[in-house]
Amino acid sequence: MKTVIFTDKAPKAIGPYSQAIEINGVLYISGQVPIDPATAKLVEGGIKEQTEQVMKNIGAILAEAGYTFADVVKSTCLLSDMDNFAAMNEVYGKYYPEKSPARAAYGVVKLPLGALIEIETIAGR
């Protein structure tokens, strides 16, 4: 059975989609941009600050669904500038100190709201 996951500790969807969907022990988290859920605005700063906020948003959704970062099996990182790849990795890596998930990273032309990064995540039990 498909379950919609929502938490007010992560940004509300800015379109016709859910923060996450769980089905058959797999959690699919929609792409998260660096919106602070308390202000509903992009966080100030560069790629490190934005990546940190994205990971906090992902963590809040994981927790709401009863998962942790240890359950993440795949991430897709979208960067507005591939020159930010190394700095993004510094922050991202803190959340996966062991047994990192599979991952793809792409440079894209533009992200919602002018964000520097967006990450979608899949977790499983």
Interval 5-24: pLDDT, tens: 999 999 998 889 999 999 99
pLDDT at 122 > cutoff 90: yes
Domain count, the chain: 1
Average pLDDT over residues 40-68: 98
pLDDT at 15: 87
pLDDT at 14: 83
Q: Which pLDDT tens digit goes with each residue over 66-116?
A: 999 999 999 999 999 999 999 999 999 999 999 999 999 999 999 999 999
Greatest extent of the chain over all pairs of C-alpha atoms, in Å:
41
Query: What is the rounded (10 degree) CA torsion for 73, 42, 81, 60?
Result: -10
Q: What is the DSSP letter of 122?
A: E
Residue 2: which of 18, 24, 17, 19 has the closest Cα?
24
Cβ contacts of 55 within 8 Å, gap of 6 or more: 91, 92, 94, 95, 119
CATH number at residue 108: 3.30.1330.40
Alpha carbon 35 to its chain centroid, in Å, reads 11
Cβ contacts of 50 within 8 Å, gap of 6 or more: 34, 42, 43, 115, 116, 117
- What residues make up the domain containing 100? 3-124
